Structure 1
Amino acid sequence: MHVGVVTVAAAVGLLLGPLLSAWVDRAAPPHGGSPVRRSVVIGLLTSALFALCAYRYGGSATLPAWCWLSATGIVLALVDVRQRRLPFRMTAAMTAGGVVALAVAAAVEDRWTDFAAALIAGLAGLVIAGAVQLAVPAHTGGGDTALAGALVFYLGWIGWAGLVRGLLLATGLTAVVGAAVFVARRCWTASFPAGPSLIAGTIAGVLLA
Structure 2
Amino acid sequence: MVLVLAGVLGLAVGSFLNVVVHRVPRDESLLRPRSHCPACAAPIRHRHNVPVVGWLVLGGRCADCRTRVSVRYPLVELGTALLFVAITARFGVTWALPAYLYLAAIAVPLALIDLDVQRLPNRIVLPSYLVGAVLLLGAAALGSDHAAAIRAILAMTVLYGGYWLLAFAYPGGMGFGDVKLAGLLGLYLGWLGWSSVWVGTFTAFLLGGTVGVVLLATRRATGKTPIPFGPSMLAGGLLAVFAAAPLANWYASVVYPAG
TM-score by length of structure 2 reads: 0.73
- Pair 1:84 & 2:81 matched: no
Shift of 1:159: 0.9
- Unaligned residue ranges in structure 2 (runs of 5+): 27-37, 40-66, 245-259
Amino acid at match of 2:205: T
Distance 1:36 1:189, change over 3 A: closer
Q: How far apart, in 2, do the equivalents of 1:129 and 1:207 lie? A: 23
Q: How far apart, in 2, do the equivalents of 1:38 and 1:113 lie? A: 41
Amino acid at match of 1:50: F
Q: Is the CA contact 2:207–2:236 (under 8 Å) kept in the aligned structure 1? A: yes
Indicate the residue corresponding to 1:93 in structure 2. Answer: 127
- Pair 1:152 & 2:186 matched: yes
Q: How far apart, in 2, do the equivalents of 1:36 and 1:190 lie? A: 26
Amino acid at match of 1:187: T
- Pair 1:64 & 2:61 matched: no
Match among 227, 236, 250 for residue 192 of structure 1: 227
Which structure's residues are more often helix, by fraction? 1
Higher relative contact order (CA 8 A, sep 6+): 1
Indicate the residue corresponding to 2:238 in structure 1. Answer: 203
- Pair 1:12 & 2:47 matched: no
Shift of 1:150: 0.9
Q: How far apart, in 2, do the equivalents of 1:93 and 1:37 lie? A: 29
- Unaligned residue ranges in structure 1 (runs of 5+): none
Indicate the residue corresponding to 1:42 in structure 2. Answer: 76
Aligned length: 205
Q: How far apart, in 1, do the equivalents of 2:166 and 2:203 lie? A: 20
Q: How far apart, in 1, do the equivalents of 2:184 and 2:68 lie? A: 32
Distance 1:23 1:153, change over 3 A: same
Q: Is the CA contact 1:28–1:79 (under 8 Å) kept in the aligned structure 2? A: yes
Q: How far apart, in 2, do the equivalents of 1:107 and 1:140 lie? A: 35
Shift of 1:38: 4.2
- The higher radius of gyration belongs to 2
Shift of 1:21: 1.0
- Quote the RMSD (CA, aligned, Å): 2.0
TM-score by length of structure 1 reads: 0.89
Q: How far apart, in 1, do the equivalents of 2:74 and 2:112 lie? A: 14
Q: How far apart, in 1, do the equivalents of 2:115 and 2:217 lie? A: 19
Q: Is the CA contact 2:199–2:236 (under 8 Å) kept in the aligned structure 1? A: no
Indicate the residue corresponding to 1:125 in structure 2. Answer: 159
Q: How far apart, in 1, do the equivalents of 2:82 and 2:207 lie? A: 20
The Cα offsets for residues 121-176 of structure 1, whole Å up to 9 and x where unpaired, read as: 10111112112222222332221110111112211111112221222222211111
